[in-house]
Structure 1
Amino acid sequence: MRKFIIASHHKMAEGVKDTLNYITGGQGNIYALSAYLKNTPIQEEIEELVKEIKEEDEVVIFTDLLGGSVNQAFSRYINRPHVHVITGMNLPVIMSLVLNPEPGYLTADQIHTALNEAKEQLVYVNDLVTNMSEDDE
């Protein structure tokens, strides 16, 4: 079974999960971890979240900041089978992987494709609109 964890400092993860559920109609096994809202060490919160994950489960973990404490805490799990940690999360990459219809475990190529497609969604709209206006002339 494929599971998704969205993890961030403060409440970003909850907001992303809520938006994702709205857009996708609640597809996927999605969990949010909003770190540092409770007086609980991050590692304890993570252990509580992952304790139910079986060895054969695939887990895709999205974190907010490369090098941030949330990402560092989840990075210790990358040696487990079928665990993928992606940082610098955004809605397009999460949607792409949650809605991925391919059966079986995700491959590195599939993840790289989703990341590259999400990068293409990062656009300075001022330039895009200006270029579109110039093309119309």
Structure 2
Amino acid sequence: MKLFVSSHGHLASGLKSSMEILYGRCDNITVFDAYVDERSVQEQLKKFFETVNEGEQVLLISDLYGSSVNQAMSLFLDRPDTTLIAGANLALMIGLAGRECISREELNELIAQSREMLCIVDLEKETISQEEDFF
């Protein structure tokens, strides 16, 4: 499975940086930070798809649903075995780490779990021990 993560600014490269701190090299993740230079999402995706082998699953991951980056990525949904996910976060990326492939059902479960990681932390209600491992 190959991942192409793109965002407005440096969020995409920041997510990959975090992944590499947690898991080491992540050669299956390609990132593109949009609007930081003259390169376009479309031209970077064309280059990316040149590296995709027949039958290889591709996840395109954007930062924000409906955004210009997301719309540019949606133009590549006609490619075989390609899925576009909007709303990238580190919880999603961690859930994808080390997988060779993922079913639509597993992906839906992972997205639901990733959404749960977005929450208000209320210290009066939290019971997390400082000794507990976060991951």
Normalised-by-shorter TM-score class: 0.7 to 0.9
Q: What code does the residue aligned with 1:108 have?
A: R
Distance 2:24 2:85 in 1: 23
> Any residues of structure 2 matched to 1:31-110 within 5 Å, and which?
31-100=30-99, 105-110=101-106
Could you tell me whether the CA contact under 8 Å between 2:34 and 2:41 is conserved in 1?
Answer: yes
Distance 1:56 1:46 in 2: 17
Q: Which runs of 4+ in 1 moved over 4 A?
A: none
Distance 2:22 2:105 in 1: 25
Q: TM-score, normalised by structure 1?
A: 0.83
Normalized per residue, which structure has more helix? 1
Relative to structure 1, is the Cα distance of residues 115 and 67 closer, same or farther in structure 2, using a 3 angstrom cutoff?
Answer: same
Could you tell me whether the CA contact under 8 Å between 2:32 and 2:41 is conserved in 1?
Answer: no
For structure 1, the 5+ residue unaligned runs are none
Partner of 1:7: 6
SS class of match (2:110): helix
Distance 2:81 2:96 in 1: 14
Q: How much has 1:27 moved relative to structure 2? A: 4.1
For structure 2, the 5+ residue unaligned runs are 128-135
Q: How much has 1:34 moved relative to structure 2? A: 0.7
User: What is the root-mean-square deviation of aligned Cα atoms in Å?
Assistant: 1.7
Q: How much has 1:21 moved relative to structure 2? A: 0.9
Q: What code does the residue aligned with 2:22 have?
A: I
Decide which structure has the larger Cα Rg and report it: 1
Q: TM-score, normalised by structure 2?
A: 0.84
Could you tell me whether the CA contact under 8 Å between 2:2 and 2:57 is conserved in 1?
Answer: yes
Q: What code does the residue aligned with 1:7 have?
A: S
Could you tell me whether the CA contact under 8 Å between 1:4 and 1:28 is conserved in 2?
Answer: no
Partner of 2:131: none
